[in-house]
Structure formats: structure tokens, C-alpha cells
Amino acid sequence: MILLVEDEQSISRPLASALQREGFDTVIAASVAEARERLAEATPDLVLLDLMLPDGSGFDVLRHLRSAGDVPVVVLTARGEEADRIVGLELGADDYVVKPFSAREVAARIRAVLRRAARQRSHGSDSAIEIGGLRLDPGRHSVELDGEELELSPKEYDLLHRLMRDAGTVVTREQLIEDVWDMNWFGSTKTLDVHVSSLRRKLGDDPAHPRYIHTIRGVGFRFSSPDEARE
């Protein structure tokens, strides 16, 4: 089930009908309060979330979703609202669509995000990884730095997991976009830089003298290997 949180009926009704034709059972909520009611009734497979709602901000719904679990979220934003898109991604949104959009584009994004979520769940039994005081435990979906648990957004966690899995090896920007966001990602690669910057900040990593995440100019990023971390 897809929960579409959008107050403009000229958008929500035709989009819901189009998604129904694409095979997605779709429920509409027109406000923050109604979204919370729908979420209390059932957990959707994915939420399409407008950020401008009549009784509050879509960011409130996004924070609620992220505090309660890992339901995939695709944010709907107005053209030119780059700051909102960045904040949404930092809060844990999985993707965004800029208005005006086509129903086919939205359906494609939904399928891409759901594929990623399924792929990430299949990797949930991986063993914990420990490097230089940093421990990532896929079983608990947790990250600890020197014994203190870090609060990471879902995408920050996925990005860190991808880099730590191949510690000591350069992972190209293209590989990270494909593995963390999906090979059909429609957005700007600036999204990757935003998440790397946020992740570094939470790890206390100085880009000029990195302990963990090293930038390989023109190629991608390399996470410190265990030997490097000990040094």
C-alpha cells in the first residue's frame, strides 16, 4: 500500500488513480493529522510525502516515520526548493520528485525505492564490521563510535555500510549511487556529496585529515582499512 500525503486534490486524485492503474493500492491523506491517522491504522510499503501541508510541515511526518521505523519515503517538492530537498534527504527521505511530475516518473521512482529496500533487507543478516573504533551491526541496524551509538539517517547508514564493506578499496561515485540510491537514480550526484559531508560530521572526520572516509578526486571514496585505522 502506498500512502500519498498531498493536500492539493488536483494532484492527489489523478496521481492516486494513475498509481492504482500501475498496480499500487494507494491511500490519500490531505494533512499531517490525517497522515498520522493512516499510519496508525496500517504500515504502508512506501510514503509519497508533500512537504507543504495545511496543518504543518511534511518534515514532521518524515521525522515521525524515521523515529518509528524504516518505511521508504519519496518527498514531493516544488521546483527550485533545493534546500527542502536536501533537508528531506538528510532527515532520511529515500528519494524526491520535483513538481510538476508525470505519474510514470513517480511510479518508476516508487519501484526503484522498493527494490532498494528489498535489497537492503536481504543484507540484514551480514556480520558486524569493526574498524578503528567504529562498529556497524547490520543485525541491529546500529552504528557505534568508541562505544557511543550514532544517530544516522537511513541513507547515511546505507552509505557507511557500503563503504565499510569494502574498506581499503576505492568505491566509485557511480557504484555508490547505484548501490545506495539505485541504478535508476534520477537526481543530482550532489546528493551523494551532501550525505558524505553529513556522515563525516557525525563521525568527527576532518576532510583535510580524514580518519575514515578519504576522497579520491575524480573517482570516489575509500574507507580506511583496518591496518590504516590502527596506524
**Looking at the structure, do residues 109 and 35 belong to the same domain, yes or no?**
yes
Contact 121, 107 (CB under 8 A): no
Averaged pLDDT, 101-124: 79
Distances (CA, A) of 220 to 96, 175, 191: 23, 9, 14
Residue 184, domain extent: 125-230
The yes-or-no verdict on residue 186 having pLDDT over 60 is no
**Looking at the structure, do residues 151 and 209 belong to the same domain, yes or no?**
yes
Q: 188 pLDDT band (50/70/90 cuts)?
A: low
Q: What are phi and psi of 8, to 5 degrees?
A: -85, 110
pTM for the whole thing? 0.60
C-alpha to C-alpha distance for 118 and 148, rounded to whole angstroms: 29
**Looking at the structure, do residues 161 and 189 belong to the same domain, yes or no?**
yes
The yes-or-no verdict on residue 229 having pLDDT over 90 is no
**Looking at the structure, do residues 151 and 207 belong to the same domain, yes or no?**
yes
Helix (H, G, I), strand (E, B) or coil at 108: helix
pLDDT in tens, 172-185: 988 888 888 764 55
DSSP 225: P
Position 80 scores a pLDDT of 62
pLDDT in tens, 196-223: 999 999 999 988 888 999 999 989 999 9
Higher-confidence residue of 171 and 90: namely: 171
The yes-or-no verdict on residue 228 having pLDDT over 80 is no
Last residue of a domain, one of 86, 121, 156: 121
Q: Cell triple for residue 142?
A: 546500529
C-alpha to C-alpha distance for 35 and 87, rounded to whole angstroms: 20
Specify the DSSP element, H or E, that contains 82. Answer: helix 82-90
The closest of 200, 194, 202, 198 to 177, measured between CA atoms, is 194
